[in-house]
């Protein structure tokens, strides 16, 4: 999630088992997921809670294609919080009329990726990026 915004060669990306409502993840203990509060000082990056959220990081990824995957049984974050944060992130794509470039895959598994969905997504966006590049070079 943090490499995509700063590396222009990345044309499409997948964030799997990481995207969350970071404020809740970092500071709000909840039996449905593991929180970094209290006592996980190593996980508190400067500014993460007070200055930017995961949805804000997505604003730096747009307009590139992005898939977010999260398992409903993943205790890294509760899936309802992930869906709410995704809606905030998707606004950046909607404002650009590029809603088709951002996708949330909620699956029934845990802390794992859904390979088939990811491959489909990357094939779609990397193929179309390559084809657009061919048109530009003509």
Digit-coded pLDDT (tens) for 29-66 = 888 887 776 666 666 666 666 778 999 999 999 999 99
The answer to whether 68 and 15 have CB atoms below 8 angstroms apart is yes
Residue 60 structural domain:
3-137
DSSP 77: S
Structural domain count, the chain: 1
* Predicted pLDDT at 23: 82
Q: Which residue has the tokens 């449905």?
A: 32
Measured from the Cβ of residue 128, the count of other Cβ atoms closer than 10 Å reads 14
The answer to whether 125 and 11 have CB atoms below 8 angstroms apart is yes
Please give the model's pTM, rounded to 2 decimal places. Answer: 0.85
CA 52 to chain centre: 14
- Percentage of the chain modeled with pLDDT above 70: 83
* Predicted pLDDT at 54: 93
């Amino acid at each position: 999630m943090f490499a995509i915004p700063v590396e222009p060669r990345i044309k499409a990306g997948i964030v799997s088992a990481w995207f969350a409502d970071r404020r809740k993840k970092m500071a709000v203990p909840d039996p449905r997921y593991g929180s970094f509060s209290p006592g996980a000082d190593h996980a508190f990056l400067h500014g993460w809670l007070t200055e930017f959220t995961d949805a804000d990081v997505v604003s730096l990824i747009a307009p590139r294609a992005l898939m977010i995957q999260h398992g409903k049984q993943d205790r890294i974050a509760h899936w309802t919080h992930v869906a709410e944060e995704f809606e905030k992130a998707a606004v950046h794509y909607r404002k650009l009329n590029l809603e088709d470039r951002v996708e949330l895959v909620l699956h029934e598994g845990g802390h794992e990726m859904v390979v088939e969905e990811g491959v489909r997504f990357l094939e779609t966006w990397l193929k179309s990026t390559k084809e657009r590049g061919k048109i530009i070079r003509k």
